[in-house]
């Protein structure tokens, strides 16, 4: 399609929709962006509250591997608009980025709002039109091509509510059911523990699930566990629960001490100290870790080797993911085989789909935003060919 004078409708003013709008407007298309919320990119702004981890600095191959089964499908887009390109694009909007200690990339401002403001100014200069408070219900907008960038199904109040699923299914397009990812999980705390420790971080632990061990931290929630370490394992935890009804997470509260050293420390005379004070003084365990260990009634009467095993391999049973509304992102969406290599729907000519609404998932670390931006940049060039 030659682009000059072509009209393009983009539904969804999140990162994917806005990036597609920029690329197509730059190449001479007349672009209109529709969104059902009264203002754009509400989820991007929400991500900004957490510092806006926009991409990652690791090697490209490692980066690509984070997308699991969807990696090869996403490869052309990610090669076309790489993490370096995204950082240069941010800098072009006046938002320099930096690499944090974990290799994650953030804007120096740690926010999304200055980036979004500068971006909207650029889109205005390019002549992009916006129509807000407009919910797309499958109607033909009368454009030469339409790009759907409707997002997944988490945090529906920010606009991406997944209601578009029925519209595409009516066209015979396969949709993989949504599942929460990068989410917390339910566990049965005692009311006393939940009351006392909800919100407390559990730091400097290792978490193991299905043979994968991470040195990390997590957060206690009233109903379970969440936070970075849990998000990183969320795909395998979720799939394990779906397959077996529960997932067994193993926590090592003292990963830097050998079992022998722990054993030696615990053998120090306890004197008049309570059992929890003894754990605190000998192993420097935080109150939340001691509280969690004591969720196991009878901990204090365990023989020493079993006590050491509890501290280094505490089994925590998780029974369900937290609701999708609270997840950072969702797996599921348009099955990838429904799209050609230009992100056009095979069963709906001139209709393209990009971003989180496709069936792929990735951990936190900037991978979600990078892939959404990259798909959008790629589709811009593909419509332009």
Ligand X SMILES: Cc1cc2nc3c(=O)[nH]c(=O)nc-3n(C[C@H](O)[C@H](O)[C@H](O)COP(=O)(O)OP(=O)(O)OC[C@H]3O[C@@H](n4cnc5c(N)ncnc54)[C@H](O)[C@@H]3O)c2cc1C
What residues line the site for ligand X (CB under 6 A)? 11-17, 34-37, 42-44, 46-47, 50, 52-53, 135-136, 149-151, 154-155, 159-160, 163-164, 328-329, 355-356, 366-369, 372
- Closest contact distance (angstroms) between CB of 183 and ligand X is 10
- Containing 45, the helix (H) or strand (E) segment is helix 42-49
Comparing CB distances to ligand X, the nearer of 127 and 138 is 138
Smallest separation (angstroms) from ligand X to the CB of 365: 7
Smallest distance from ligand X to CB 335, Å: 16
Name 358's bridge partners. Answer: 334
Residue 107, beta-bridge partner list: 97
Tell me the chain's radius of gyration from C-alpha atoms.
24
Q: To the nearest 10°, report the CA torsion of 131, 26, 83, 154.
A: 10
In angstroms, what is the minimal distance from the CB of 26 to ligand X? 18
Nearer to ligand X, 53 or 374 (CB): 53
- To the nearest whole angstrom, how small is the minimum distance from the Cβ of residue 275 to ligand X? 39
Q: Indicate the residue among 207 and 369 with the shorter CB distance to ligand X.
A: 369
Among the listed residues 201, 255, 204, 211, the one whose alpha carbon sits nearest the alpha carbon of residue 233: 211
Nearer to ligand X, 46 or 120 (CB): 46
Task: Determine how many CB atoms are found less than 10 A away from the CB of residue 124.
Answer: 11
Q: What is the DSSP letter of 156?
A: G
The least CB distance from residue 185 to ligand X, in Å, is: 17
Distance CA 95, CA 117 (A): 11
Q: Please state whether beta strands 129-131 and 30-34 pair in parallel, antiparallel, or not at all (unpaired).
A: parallel
- CB contact at 8 A, 211 and 191: no
Closest CB to ligand X among residues 165, 288: 165
Which residue, 83 or 291, has its beta carbon nearer to ligand X? Answer: 83
Element (H, E) at 231: helix 228-232
């Amino acid at each position: 399609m030659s682009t000059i004078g072509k009209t393009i409708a983009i539904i969804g003013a999140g990162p994917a929709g806005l990036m597609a709008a920029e690329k197509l407007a730059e190449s001479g298309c007349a672009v209109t962006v529709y969104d059902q919320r009264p203002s754009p990119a509400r989820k991007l702004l929400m991500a900004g509250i957490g510092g806006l981890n926009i991409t990652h600095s690791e090697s490209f191959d490692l980066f690509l591997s984070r997308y699991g089964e969807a990696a090869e499908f996403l490869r052309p887009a990610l090669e076309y608009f790489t993490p370096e390109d995204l950082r240069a694009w941010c800098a072009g909007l006046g938002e320099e980025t930096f690499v944090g200690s974990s290799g994650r990339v953030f804007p120096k401002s740690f926010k999304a709002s200055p980036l979004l403001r500068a971006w909207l100014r650029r889109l205005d200069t390019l002549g992009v039109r916006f129509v807000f408070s407009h919910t797309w219900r499958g109607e033909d907008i009368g454009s030469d091509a339409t790009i759907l960038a409707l997002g997944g199904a988490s945090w529906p109040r920010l606009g991406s509510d997944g209601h578009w699923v029925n519209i595409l299914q009516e066209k015979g397009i396969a949709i993989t059911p949504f599942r929460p990812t990068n989410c917390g999980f339910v566990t049965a705390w005692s009311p006393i523990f939940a009351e006392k420790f909800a919100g407390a971080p559990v730091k400097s632990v290792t978490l193991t699930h299905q043979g994968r061990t991470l040195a990390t931290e997590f957060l206690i929630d009233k109903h379970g566990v969440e936070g970075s370490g849990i998000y990183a394992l969320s795909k395998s935890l979720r799939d394990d629960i779906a397959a077996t009804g529960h997932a067994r997470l193993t926590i090592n509260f003292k990963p830097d001490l050998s079992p022998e050293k722990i054993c030696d420390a615990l053998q120090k005379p306890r004197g008049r100290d309570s059992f929890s004070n003894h754990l605190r003084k000998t192993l420097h365990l935080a109150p939340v870790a001691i509280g969690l260990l004591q969720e196991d009634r009878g901990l204090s009467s365990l023989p020493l080797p079993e006590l050491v095993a509890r501290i280094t391999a505490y089994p925590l049973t998780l029974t369900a993911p937290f609701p999708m509304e609270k997840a950072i992102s969702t797996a599921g969406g348009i099955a990838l085989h429904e799209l050609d290599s230009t992100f056009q729907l095979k069963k709906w000519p001139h209709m393209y789909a990009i971003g989180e609404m496709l069936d792929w998932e990735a951990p936190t670390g900037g991978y979600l935003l990078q892939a959404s931006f990259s798909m959008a940049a790629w589709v811009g060039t593909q419509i332009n060919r």
